[in-house]
């Protein structure tokens, strides 16, 4: 069994989900008292937020690279950045380390392709929806991503910052998210990517009648595949 390295804390609430899913899936596959070999480096999200406020993306890159290097020193066999948004730095981080980085958008694209879906809606932070680091990876898998309108993107970001990252999940926010997803569906999306690892804590499969792609689960499963593949 290989050791999985998790760069977490972005935010910690979804990092807990990574740890739970990875260990439950490892045990499901191996049985008994077998669980995952993991090393977790959890960053202070406040440091990231301060860099965000000053639009200093290099500072955030430095945090991600430092965390990945510390995990590498600890002897992990792969690295996961436990947030979709942090993957704006994934390609650069991977070039600076000697172990594989399992990319959340690549694994999500592969999962979407399994269902023969070519067009999806994408919900996430504003950088995930508005920059091309994520949609380009989906496009490489032959998948087109539709994003919400600007006012809706602002609402989603505000909800992530003021509610989801703090563990607050309000029915009225869930209702608005569902409305936004249904609008993307009416524009041709065959399913929706929950492209922020906190969003699946608010939105569940039973809330809609179309495919949802839970990136936390998809990314975690890819890590288990890697760890158990001899």
Q: What is the CATH number of the domain that holds 73?
A: 3.40.50.1860
Task: Judge if 64 and 145 occupy the same domain.
Answer: no
The whole-number pLDDT of residue 227 equals 98
Number of domains within the chain: 2
Q: Tell me the C-alpha distance between 92 and 159, whole Å.
A: 29
CB atoms within 10 A of CB 229: 8
Q: Where are the beta strands (DSSP E) in the chain?
A: 3-8, 37-42, 78-81, 119-123, 144-146, 191-194, 212-214
The whole-number pLDDT of residue 188 equals 97
Task: Judge if 85 and 179 occupy the same domain.
Answer: no
Range of the domain at 114: 105-214
The whole-number pLDDT of residue 228 equals 98
Task: Judge if 83 and 111 occupy the same domain.
Answer: no
Average pLDDT of the residues in 126-140? 97
The whole-number pLDDT of residue 23 equals 98
- Interhelix angle 45-53/57-73, rounded to 10 degrees, is 150
Whole-prediction pTM value? 0.95
Task: Judge if 142 and 45 occupy the same domain.
Answer: no
pLDDT digits (tens, 9 = 90+) for 152-184: 999 999 999 999 999 999 999 999 999 999 999
The whole-number pLDDT of residue 93 equals 98
Task: Judge if 88 and 111 occupy the same domain.
Answer: no
Question: What is the DSSP secondary structure assignment for residue 101, as one 8-state letter?
Answer: B
pLDDT digits (tens, 9 = 90+) for 41-84: 999 999 999 999 999 999 999 999 999 999 999 999 999 999 99
């Amino acid at each position: 069994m290989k050791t999985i390295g998790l760069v977490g804390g972005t935010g910690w609430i979804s990092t807990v989900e990574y740890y739970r899913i990875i260990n439950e899936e490892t045990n499901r596959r191996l049985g008994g008292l077998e669980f995952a070999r993991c090393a977790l480096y959890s960053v202070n999200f406040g440091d990231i937020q301060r860099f965000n406020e000053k639009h200093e993306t290099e500072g955030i890159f430095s945090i991600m690279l430092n965390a990945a290097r510390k995990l590498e020193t600890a002897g992990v066999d792969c690295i996961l950045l436990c947030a979709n948004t942090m993957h704006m730095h994934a390609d650069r981080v991977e070039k600076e380390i000697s172990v594989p980085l399992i990319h959340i958008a690549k694994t999500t694209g592969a999962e979407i392709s399994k269902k023969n879906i070519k067009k999806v809606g994408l919900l996430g932070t504003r950088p995930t929806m508005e920059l091309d680091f994520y949609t380009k990876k989906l496009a490489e898998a032959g998948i087109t991503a539709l994003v919400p309108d600007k006012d809706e993107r602002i609402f989603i970001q505000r909800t992530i910052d003021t509610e989801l990252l703090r563990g607050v999940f309000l029915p009225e926010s869930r209702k608005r998210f569902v409305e936004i997803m249904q609008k993307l569906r009416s524009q041709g999306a065959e399913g929706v990517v929950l492209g922020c690892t906190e969003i699946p804590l608010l939105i569940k499969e039973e809330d809609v009648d179309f495919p949802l792609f839970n990136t936390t689960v998809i990314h975690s499963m890819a890590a288990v595949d890697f760890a158990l593949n001899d």
